């Protein structure tokens, strides 16, 4: 299940900065912001960053991390912001968490809140790579990740979004041991926790078989696809 496609190792924040530079004063919405890591990083670089997520527990952490940011509770398919309220909207590993039937609406909402000519960036993990292979025993996201890519493709084909650039790269992360990897995937989605005990032996087997072994531990690569798009107009 290891990824056979050679991709460069990339830096998602660096990619976003390159697209939206200069960040100073730029109004940016993180859709599916979770605990607010991206909101905090953008604000630290001078952006007027806001976030929205349907998980109140995650939002509590986001508000602590960025007290001055506009952090709101709500779904991606019904954003509580006005038309053209932002210059850019970002889905960072979040579109595949939107219900499949609502993905098209979520992309349309991003278009609405950035207004004509605004920027929409979608970064999504692919169903490939040894990180994904190690995750599968806990949660197999193959279908939902494919659905997210299909929703983007449909929006582009319909002219609801205009493609500027598409790029793929690997997110490389090193974990000193099995416990660190399990903590990482639960932090990303706490609903995975009840499945850990049953999946643990197979996750461990896959880490030993598929990870790159380094002095620091298991090196795992998760391929990401970034779509840099514009709202029509």
Enumerate domains of the chain plus CATH numbers: 12-126+140-170+224-230 (3.40.50.150)
Are 30 and 58 in contact by the 8 Å Cβ rule? The answer is no
Residue numbers of the chain with a pLDDT score lower than 70:
1-5
Report how far apart the first and last C-alpha atoms of the chain are (Å, whole number).
42
pLDDT at 188: 87
User: Locate tokens 């579109």: which residue?
Assistant: 95
Q: Is the whole model's pTM more than 0.85, yes or no?
A: yes
Query: What count of other Cβ atoms lies within 10 Å of the Cβ of residue 129?
Result: 25
pLDDT at 2: 44
**Span 174-214, pLDDT tens digits:** 999 999 999 999 988 889 999 999 999 999 999 999 999 99
pLDDT at 5: 67
pLDDT at 3: 47
As a whole number of angstroms, the distance between CA 123 and CA 166 comes to 10
As a whole number of angstroms, the distance between CA 135 and CA 57 comes to 23
Tokens representing 205?
A: 């087997």
């Amino acid at each position: 299940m290891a990824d056979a496609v050679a991709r460069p190792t990339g830096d998602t924040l660096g990619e976003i900065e390159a697209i939206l530079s200069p960040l100073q004063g730029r109004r940016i919405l993180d859709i599916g912001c979770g605990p607010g890591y991206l909101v905090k990083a953008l604000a630290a670089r001078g952006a007027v960053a806001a976030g929205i997520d349907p998980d109140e527990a995650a939002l509590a952490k986001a508000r602590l991390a960025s007290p001055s940011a506009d952090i709101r509770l709500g779904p991606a398919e019904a954003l509580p912001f006005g038309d053209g309220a932002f210059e850019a909207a970002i889905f960072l590993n979040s579109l595949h968490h939107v219900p499949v039937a609502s993905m098209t609406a979520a992309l349309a909402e991003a278009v609405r809140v950035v207004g004509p000519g605004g920027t929409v960036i979608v970064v999504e993990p692919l169903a490939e790579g040894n990180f994904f292979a190690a995750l599968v025993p806990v949660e197999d996201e193959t279908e939902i990740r494919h659905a997210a890519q299909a929703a983007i493709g449909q929006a582009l084909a319909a002219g609801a979004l205009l493609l500027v650039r598409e790029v793929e790269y690997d997110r490389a992360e090193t974990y000193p041991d099995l416990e660190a990897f399990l903590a990482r995937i639960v932090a990303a989605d706490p609903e995975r926790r009840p499945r850990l005990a049953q999946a643990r032996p197979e996750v461990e087997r896959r880490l030993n078989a598929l990870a790159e072994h380094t002095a620091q531990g298991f090196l795992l690569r998760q391929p990401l696809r970034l779509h840099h798009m514009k709202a029509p107009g």
